[in-house]
Every structure is written in structure tokens, then in C-alpha cells.
Chain A
Amino acid sequence: MRMARTIALRVLDAVPTVLLVLTLVFFALRVLPGDPARVALGEFATPEQIAALHAKMGLDGPLAWQYLTFLRDVATLRFGTSFVSSEPVGAMLAQNLPYTIDLTVLATLFGVVMGLPLGVASARRRGGPVDFGARLFALLGYAIPDFYLGALLLIWLALDTGLFPISGGGEGAWDRFYHLILPAFTLGVIKAAFLSRLTRGALLETLGRDFVRTARAKGAREPRVVYRHALRNALLPVSNGLALSLLSTLSGAVAIELIFNRPGIGTMLVEAVSTRDYPVVQAGLVVFSLFVVAVNLLADLLNGVIDPRIRAAS
């Protein structure tokens, strides 16, 4: 019950944030030079056609009226139809969003599965070859851009060895998963680099604290000291870092979606901005901001699980 109340309060907290984002997006799009009607009609459009399309797009009324209409549509989850393809934006989201969620979830999973153990091993064997290797991995992971790593992996694992498909999102559950592995691994490697470094730092700091020394003095065995006492306490900054990296994955997914030619909300948004497809950009950003709110909420809940003091405070 308390948990439900916490969630409800956090969602309510998020309303002004989302509203602010929507307002900024609405006005920023309209300030940007470039007329969606002209883009949609092409270079042979006449002024009458442009005016008629403005009316059809709902761009002919006063800006305040357009804004209120937009807010009403968002509140009722009606995102309208794309200016470019005339497809309902809801359908476009339904087609693209699952691919982005798949990618984000599996990339995070790869990142956690590779990054956490590596960070722990690196902290436990500080100064040793494992630590050196892990730090080198983290450094490279930080330095290498995702689109470059993606291209390298594509050439090596898809083009040269044929182990993975080259592009596309796949059809059917298995094919979709098969198409997902390489792009998710690419993002996962970068996430793992970040997480391993974060885990190493946090764990090293915790391992030097008094309660760890006490645990050791009381004769606790090393694995128990590390995993039961130190790691749990070190996980708080890691969980916050994970939330941040989840959000950056969402934006990083644009480049990955492009080079792996995957459907997804990132490329949908980029294309919509370039064609001034207001309804698609607006809807895409609503989803993005809701995602940010959800991830923050998740991180808070996770922190509560990790640290009982936070749970008690909330």
C-alpha cells in the first residue's frame, strides 16, 4: 500500500515536468524555420495548397489555440496523424516503441551482466592484472563511439563471419531476438564499461570503510564481506548510474538503430524533426519524458530495496 502511494505521488510529481517538456517542445518546433506543409507537398506546391494543408494540419489557427488543442490531445492520448505519411501516430509508436524497449532492456542486461562482475573483480584485485584489464576495458568502452563499435562488430560478426544478421529488426519472436543481439551487445559493452568503472570505484570506497573492517575483524569470510556487506552498500551509486545510463541508452539508440537499420523511436524522431512532422515529434517526446519519469521512479524504488533507510524515509 505504501509502495502504491509512493508510486502515485512520484507520478503526480512528474506531471509538471512532463507539461514543461511538452510546452517547450511545442513552441520550439514552431519557432524552428521550416514549414511542414512545404516539406510534405514538395517543391511544386502552390501557396493555396500550402494554406489548405496548414488548415488540414491544424496550423492555421492562433498559436494559443493550437497549444490548447495539443494539450487536450495529449491528455486524451490522441496524438493525431503524421504530417508526412498520414499514418496515425499511435500506430507509429506501437510499431517502433517495442523495438526501442527491446534494445534498451537487453543492452542494460548485457551491461549489468558484464559490468558488475568486472567492477567487483577489479576492485577485489586492485592493482593486479584483472584490475588492469578491467580498467583498460572501461577506458576503451568510454572512448569508443557506439556507432563505430557497432560498425566494427557488424563487419566482423555479421559481414565476415555471418554469425548475425546485418540489418533490420526481424520478424517473429526468435528472429527479432536474433536481430537484437548484436546491437544490444554494442550498447551493452559501452554500458558495461561505465558500470564496471562505477562499481569498482564505489566498492573500493566501501571496502575501506569501518564496518567492513569490523566484519573482517569479526572473522567473516572474504566473499561474505565483499558480497554481503560491501557490495550491497556500494550498489547505491551504481543503481543511480544505471538509471542515468538507461536514459543515455535511449538517446544512444538513435545511432545504433541507424547503422543496424532497426525500427525504433530514436530514428523515428530524428526523421520527424528533419521533416517537421510535429505530431510525431511531440508524441515521441511525450514517450521519452514519460520514460525518464519511469526510469527515475524505478531507480528510487530500487534504491529503497538496496537501502532500507531510504525505504523507511519514503
Chain B
Amino acid sequence: MRLGMGAAQVVTVDPIYLNQGVDNWAITHVFDFLARAPLGRFGASPAEFTPELAESWTISPDSRVWTFHIRKGVMFHKGYGELTAEDVKFTFDRVRDPKQGSGAAIIYSNVDSVETPDPYTAVIRLKQPDPFFMSSTVHLTSSNIVCKKAVLEKGDKFARDPIGSGPYQMVSVTPKLVTLTANPDYFGQKPNIPNMEVSYILDTSARALAILGGQVDMILAPAGPGAINSIVQKNPKLILDVALPGNSVSVAFNLNHKPLDDLRVRQAFMYAINKEEIRKSVTPATPRVYGLNPPSVPGALTDQNCPAALRYDFNPAKAKQLLAEAGFPNGFAFPVISSVRDDFSSLMLIIAEQLRQVGVKMDLKLIDHAAYHEADVRDLCNFTMRIGSYPPVPTQPFQNELMAAGNVQPDGKGRGNNFSHYGVAIPGIDDMVAQAMAEPELGKRLALCGRIEEKILTDLPLVSLCTTAYVVIRNPRLDIGFKVDSSLGYWRLNQAKFVA
């Protein structure tokens, strides 16, 4: 089985140093989680997760103590012995250790301690209750359980020669190819296909040719406008696996910059930007997004529950009226910095054209992607696009993008991606998020998240544009064994088999 993924080369197969999403395709097959979301979709609540390395688990009533009972007899690859609770503790302690320099460490800041009362029990204590702990932490790439002995023995080489307990084990890693072979001792569903290769094919035409020519069985679909359609037109039998929500696209107004500090101007933008048109412009079209969380995330605003006053359906006349009330009857011009990356530039150009229709002229400057990120974290942007994904945990985007603590700073030393300065320029959100974070009961927490979404849509620190789904184009001869629905941008293929 051959996979063609969109990156120049493999960066790492060590879960705690994941830096590019496509490396997950190798990682997810080499390692196991304590518990896994149902194949092809997110787990909305802990009850939906299926046992993996943990045979069972218990949750304290305040959602702060999570006790995992580890499966006995799970063996690490290549003779590295049995997996025990000590490896679980090592995995969590390693990612949290500042000396390791894992980019994911901040996500584990709520973990207070990991204890191992016996070799088959791991007790994870949290500082604050987290009914979403499975989605927020256990199911993150960096929570794939690594072999303590192998990490200590191999050091930096672990990233190229990893030892896990998953359905496939590592054969070799070269810059453009990761080769895996089935783990004969796997405790779960043993792979139907004995070998797996993950090829790194950055160029979109090369990837398209690879799937059309049958050189690979699956590719990460190219992101450019019309790219998916042009491939499927050449071979209509190809199958699209579409994982929602994929990446969320939002644009933050810098509330410290005039005239974006004026609520009427932001409301005018909301009415002028045709979100229906934008969501239909991405392939495949994705469901309409209202608040910061896309509709597939628990607690999000959807077509059904979004209040009419906060929908901001396309209405250029109303946008012009609001601009006039704000003192801009003829519109205005404003400078915007964005990234040259295809997805950023194409979406920003659509917005520029839509705003032009109501008299707002965007002087758009597109710069190199790394330079753009340097500019946005240094508070140099006033209309900042963010494209990224979160686990299906509704509080995470609030924490990263809207709370005072996450404000970007001119020296680049901010602690988050709050490009709008919401929480400081317009206070109130921090208390609401803190209240939600302290709520141990899932249903109540979701209701609080809904209220936060409504406040965001009232104050408008940002506009949520759409999501761009993760799409994999698959040869019909490969049956993956389940339907992909809502998911992160990768999934397991040990059930996959070749069909005639």
C-alpha cells in the first residue's frame, strides 16, 4: 500500500516533535494511543472512545483524575519488551519536560502528575477538570505511547528509528519515503496489507500523476482551486475521503487599529463578506461556519441553533449603510499583510474583491509564509488570517485566539494567537472561558461554550470564514474499511485491503 503525501520530506516520526501534519500517517501506524476515537470520526464524549492500550478507564466525578487500566501483554516492536504503565508515564512526562522542547508541551499544562501504582495502571491527575481530556490530550499525536527503553537507548535516532506498539513497525526512513511493515504481534486488528510506504511528494502535479498512474493508492488532495476536480475528471472512479472540519479559516480584526476598532465597521465587513460564496469556493464545499468552532465540533453554533441576529448573511446594502454610519460613506483603504501560500492568498483575494464591492479597498501585500508568521506574532498585521486545526474541543480555539493571555506582542513574546487583542481591547471573554474551563460536567460546559460563541459574534473580534476539509484521493482498489466523516487529517489503515 502506497500513500503520497504533500510535503517535501519527512521531518520526524517521533510523536512529540510533530511539526508537519502528514508525518502523522507514519506515526499513527507505529504507535498506539491509550484510547482511540471511532474510526472515521471524532469522539464527541469520552464514552465514544474505544479501548486501545488501555482496556478500560475510570473518570473521577470532577473530571480531574483519569485512571487508565493498561492492557497486559502488549509488546513493543523489535523485541523491546512489554508495554507497561511506566511507558505511559514516560510518554506524558517526556512531552511536558521543558528540556525536550516539544511544541506540544503547552497543551499538557493542565496535567498535574502521572502516577503508576502498579505496572498496569496509569493515573493522570489534572489541575483543572477536563471532561474533554480524551479529545484534548489523550488523542493528540504527542500522546502516542513511546517505548521508554528505546527512547533512552536511541536518543535523537528515535525520530528515524522509532519503537512503538502499533500495527506497523518501522523498516526505514529516507527523506522522501517511510517504509513500514506489519507488526506480526499486534494485539488488535492485524494489518491486511503487509507493507506500507508513505511517499513525500510536494509538487501537486507529481502527486496527481502518481495517483492517476497508479503509482500510489492514496494521495493527500492538492489544495489549489479546481485541483481536485481536474484529477477526478481524468479518472472518475477515484474515491474522495473527506474529513471535516479540517482546517478552520478565520480572520482577526486588530481591535487596536482604526477604523477596525469601530464595531460598525466590523459589522459592515461581516455583511460584506459573502461566507456562502467562500465556503462554496473551496473543494469540496464545507458546511457554513458561524462561530469560531466549526459545526462538527461539540458546542458549536450551527445552521439550526445560530440566533438570526448573529448570522450576518451577505447583505452589501447593509454593509454600506453601516460604513456610512461609521463615517465612511465612500469606504476606505487599509493595508493588509498576508502569506503567499496558496490557501491564504486565494482566500484573501476573494475577501478583497468582496470588500471592494462595498467601497473598502484592501492594499494586500503577500509575503513569504515564515515571514508572515513572524509579522503576525509581532502584532504587525491588522487583518490577520489564521488557517489551522484544533482537536474537537471547543475551548481550545478560545484560549489560543481570544483570551487576554494569548495576545500577540510587538516583541513576539505573546503566548498565543490572539491577533485581535480581544479580552483586553474588549474585556469579558476571559471570565467566560475560565468559567467554562472550570465546569466539570460536559453538557454544562458545552452550553457555556455556546454562550461564548454568541458573545464573539456580538463583539466581532474576528470573522470565521469557512473550513477547508482534509481530502484524500483514493484508488477504488483500496478499501479502507470505514467511511471517513469528521476526523483529523489522517486515519489508520490496518483494516484496509485491496479489492478487485
Interface flag for A167 (CB, 8 Å): yes
> A254-293: contact bitstring with B at CB < 8 Å (1 yes, 0 no)?
0000111101000110110011100000000000000000
Q: Which residue of B is nearest A44, CB measured?
A: B106
Knowing A166-B210, A263-B175 touch, does A34 contact B101 (C-beta < 8 A)? no
Interface flag for B483 (CB, 8 Å): no
User: Which listed residue, A45, A81, A169, touches B103 by the CB 8 Å rule?
Assistant: A45
Question: B436 to nearest A CB, angstroms?
Answer: 19
**Is B206 in contact with A263, judged by CB distance below 8 angstroms?**
no
Q: How many residues does chain B have at the interface if contact means C-beta atoms less than 8 Å apart?
A: 50
Q: Which of the four size classes fits the interface of chain A?
A: 35 or more
Chain B hits for A297, CB < 8 A: none
User: Which listed residue, A166, A169, A260, A267, touches B213 by the CB 8 Å rule?
Assistant: A166
Chain A hits for B103, CB < 8 A: 40-42, 44-45, 49
**Is B12 in contact with A85, judged by CB distance below 8 angstroms?**
yes
CA distance A32 to B367 in the complex (A): 12
Chain B hits for A33, CB < 8 A: 367-368, 370-371, 374-375
Q: Which residue of A is nearest B176, CB measured?
A: A263
Interface segment, one of B25-33, B196-204, B300-308 = B196-204
Knowing A159-B213, A167-B215, A258-B202 touch, does A95 contact B174 (C-beta < 8 A)? yes
**Which of A42, A259, A261 has most chain B Cβ within 10 Å?**
A261
CA distance A258 to B177 in the complex (A): 15
Interface segment, one of B127-135, B182-190, B409-417, B463-471 = B409-417
> A20-64: contact bitstring with B at CB < 8 Å (1 yes, 0 no)?
000000000000111100111111111111101100100000000
Chain A hits for B201, CB < 8 A: 167, 261
Question: A93 to nearest B CB, angstroms?
Answer: 11
Interface flag for B373 (CB, 8 Å): yes
CA distance A52 to B98 in the complex (A): 8
Chain B hits for A154, CB < 8 A: 205-206, 209
**Is A92 in contact with B106, judged by CB distance below 8 angstroms?**
no
Chain B hits for A306, CB < 8 A: none
**Which of B12, B103, B106, B199 has most chain A Cβ within 10 Å?**
B103
**Is B107 in contact with A34, judged by CB distance below 8 angstroms?**
no
Interface flag for A76 (CB, 8 Å): no
> B152-179: contact bitstring with A at CB < 8 Å (1 yes, 0 no)?
0000100110000000000000111100
Question: B341 to nearest A CB, angstroms?
Answer: 10
User: Which listed residue, A42, A87, A92, touches B19 by the CB 8 Å rule?
Assistant: A42
**Is A43 in contact with B388, judged by CB distance below 8 angstroms?**
yes
Q: Which residue of B is nearest A95, CB measured?
A: B175
Interface flag for B105 (CB, 8 Å): yes
**Which of B98, B106, B209, B215 has most chain A Cβ within 10 Å?**
B209
Chain A hits for B111, CB < 8 A: none
**Which of A40, A43, A166 has most chain B Cβ within 10 Å?**
A166
> A145-179: contact bitstring with B at CB < 8 Å (1 yes, 0 no)?
00000010011001100100111110000000000
CA distance A87 to B210 in the complex (A): 28
> A234-269: contact bitstring with B at CB < 8 Å (1 yes, 0 no)?
000000000000000000000000111101000110
Knowing A167-B201, A258-B203 touch, does A49 contact B105 (C-beta < 8 A)? yes
Interface flag for B195 (CB, 8 Å): no
Question: A189 to nearest B CB, angstroms?
Answer: 19
Chain A hits for B9, CB < 8 A: 85, 263, 267-268, 271
CA distance A169 to B205 in the complex (A): 17
Question: A66 to nearest B CB, angstroms?
Answer: 19
Chain A hits for B251, CB < 8 A: none
**Is B215 in contact with A166, judged by CB distance below 8 angstroms?**
yes
Chain A hits for B177, CB < 8 A: 168
> B339-355: contact bitstring with A at CB < 8 Å (1 yes, 0 no)?
00000000000000000
Chain B hits for A84, CB < 8 A: 11, 19
Interface flag for A96 (CB, 8 Å): yes
Question: A135 to nearest B CB, angstroms?
Answer: 30
Interface flag for B104 (CB, 8 Å): yes
**Is B368 in contact with A34, judged by CB distance below 8 angstroms?**
yes
Chain A hits for B8, CB < 8 A: 267-268, 270-271
Question: A83 to nearest B CB, angstroms?
Answer: 10
CA distance A158 to B206 in the complex (A): 11
**Is B370 in contact with A53, judged by CB distance below 8 angstroms?**
no
Chain A hits for B377, CB < 8 A: 38
**Is B388 in contact with A35, judged by CB distance below 8 angstroms?**
no
User: Which listed residue, A41, A47, A92, A166, touches B413 by the CB 8 Å rule?
Assistant: A47
**Is A151 in contact with B205, judged by CB distance below 8 angstroms?**
yes
Question: A146 to nearest B CB, angstroms?
Answer: 13
Q: Which residue of B is nearest A47, CB measured?
A: B413
Q: Which residue of B is nearest A35, CB measured?
A: B374
Q: Given A56-B101, A259-B203, list of 18 further CB < 8 A pairs? A: A33-B371, A33-B374, A35-B370, A41-B19, A44-B400, A47-B414, A47-B415, A50-B413, A85-B159, A154-B206, A165-B215, A167-B209, A168-B176, A259-B205, A260-B206, A261-B199, A268-B8, A268-B9
- Which residues of A pack against B, CB within 8 Å? 32-35, 38-50, 52-53, 56, 81, 84-87, 92, 95-96, 151, 154-155, 158-159, 162, 165-169, 258-261, 263, 267-268, 270-271, 274-276
Shortest 6 CB-CB distances between A and B: which pairs?
A: A34-B370, A41-B103, A47-B413, A271-B8, A33-B371, A42-B103
Q: What are 14 inter-chain pairs, A to B, with CB distance below 8 A?
A: A42-B19, A43-B417, A44-B103, A44-B400, A84-B11, A85-B11, A96-B175, A159-B212, A159-B213, A167-B215, A168-B176, A258-B202, A261-B206, A275-B370
- Which residues of B pack against A, CB within 8 Å? 8-12, 17, 19, 98-99, 101, 103-107, 156, 159-160, 174-177, 199-203, 205-206, 209-210, 212-213, 215, 367-371, 373-375, 377, 388, 400, 412-415, 417
